[in-house]
Amino acid sequence: METKAVRFGEKLVTTKEFLAEGHNFCTGCGEALAIRLAMKALGENVIMAMATGCDEVCTTPLPYTSWRVPWMHTLFENAASEISGVEAGLKILAKKGRMPDRDIKCVAMAGDGGTSDIGIQALSGAFERGHDFIYICLDNEAYMNTGIQRSSATPYGASTTTAPAGKFSIGQITRKKNMVAIAAAHDIPYVATACPSYRFDLMKKVRKGAELKGPAYVHILSPCPTGWRYSSNLTIEIGQLAVQTGIFPLYEIEGGRYRLNADPPKLKPVEEYLKLQGRYRHLTGEEIESIQEMVNEDYGKLKEKVAAFPM
């Protein structure tokens, strides 16, 4: 008899795989895992609009598809405007009685490039118009699919091919664009960060974002063995360290109020996270120190917001 669900304490997780096995994601890909988990939370009553990127290229080489849900892709920067059309189309067709109102969840997915760089305009527009959709950003911190070029989500000090570490450069000289704050600034009902290493937290947030009416934004850190240059078996560990060092805190902003999902009494030193990844290999002790200060600063600011606007 085929197992329908796997039990984790009180939780039941479906064994259905909406992202079919045999996809083309790299060995040990954190994004693949993030999508797999998110799809389990979303279920099959969805329509997905995906931007060009690892997620799209690894899953849909003509004439094949890894998707077991209705799915569309057009371009790199328009997942949010595409899903706006889907959402408006579904609503009006139901209103005009041309199709039953099945409350199909509208889901947009894009990488960090398709979200915080080329896709930010479409996303901002979709947020402002208040469409009922969930936007999931799969953040592997660079344009990984085209060969590890920098994005505005690449963290300070990371080496990428278009902002490489060199004699006169530390690599990325800017700090990671705070897409979560940008999303929250649109006053949308729900904004959250997630990491596949924290599987139930991720699934809960995706389900919550999908179920809430209006725009929701879930920013998922997606560790990338290929681009971050680490051994493929460390994906879960690296995601955990990202959270435990305060580099990628897990939190939610609901109606402008903050909840920090994990607040360790003492954050691990960032070095534990950085030293596992080849993209940071060039950093000197001093540079790691300054990164530690930046992380302390950012984490401190987040704690202030949590204190000022608690849920």
List the interface residues with another protein, window 234-273 (CB under 8 A). Answer: 234-237
Contact 23, 56 (CB under 8 A): no
> Among 41, 53, 54, 77, which residue sits at the site for another protein (rule: CB under 8 A)?
77
- Determine, following the binding rule CB under 8 A, whether residue 114 of this chain makes contact with another protein: no
Contact pattern for another protein over residues 10 through 39, marking x by CB under 8 A: ---x-x-x-xxxxxxx-xxxx-xx--xx--
Radius of gyration of the chain (CA): 19
Residues 151-190 that bind another protein (CB under 8 A): none
- Span interacting with another protein, options 66-74, 151-159, 270-278, 290-298, rule CB under 8 A: 66-74
**Smaller CB separation from another protein, 13 or 260:** 13
Structure tokens at 184: 């929250």
- How far apart are the two ends of the chain, measured CA to CA in Å? 44
Counting contacts by CB under 8 A, is residue 55 touching another protein? no
Q: Closer CB to another protein, residue 52 or residue 172? A: 52
Q: Map residue 11 onto helix, strand or coil.
A: strand
Among 41, 54, 55, 67, binds another protein (CB under 8 A): 67
Cis peptide before 225 (omega within 30 of 0): no
Which position among 38, 54, 86, 137 is part of the footprint of another protein (CB under 8 A)?
A: 86
Distance CA 284, CA 290 (A): 10
Q: Which is nearer to another protein, 163 or 224 (CB)?
A: 224
96 scored as a contact of another protein (CB under 8 A): yes
Q: Least distance from C-beta 298 to another protein, angstroms?
A: 28
The one-letter amino acid code at 42 reads L
Measured from the Cβ of residue 98, the count of other Cβ atoms closer than 10 Å reads 8
Nearest CA among 79, 28, 78 for reference residue 226: 28
Least distance in angstroms from the C-beta of 296 to another protein: 29
Contacts of 104 (CB under 8 A, 6+ apart): 45, 46, 47, 90
Interacting residues with another protein between 212 and 231 (CB under 8 A): 225, 231
Map residue 269 onto helix, strand or coil: coil
Give the range of 41-49, 150-158, 273-281, 298-306 binding another protein by CB under 8 A.
41-49
Q: Which is nearer to another protein, 85 or 164 (CB)?
A: 85
Using the structure block, give the residue that is written with the tokens 């899953």: 59
Establish if 66 lies at the interface with another protein (CB under 8 A).
Answer: yes
Cα-Cα-Cα-Cα torsion 245, 249, 302, 176, nearest 10 degrees, comes to 90
Is residue 120 at the binding interface for another protein, with CB under 8 A as the rule? no
**Given the complex with another protein, which of 36 and 219 has the nearer CB atom?**
36
30 vs 171 by CB, closer to another protein: 30
Phi first, then psi: give them for residue 241, nearest 5 degrees. -65, -35
Runs of H (alpha helix) within 109-224: 112, 120-129, 179-185, 199-211
Q: Is 138 in the site for another protein (CB under 8 A)?
A: no
Among 38, 53, 81, 219, binds another protein (CB under 8 A): 81
Give the helix ranges, DSSP H, for 75-178.
79-95, 112, 120-129
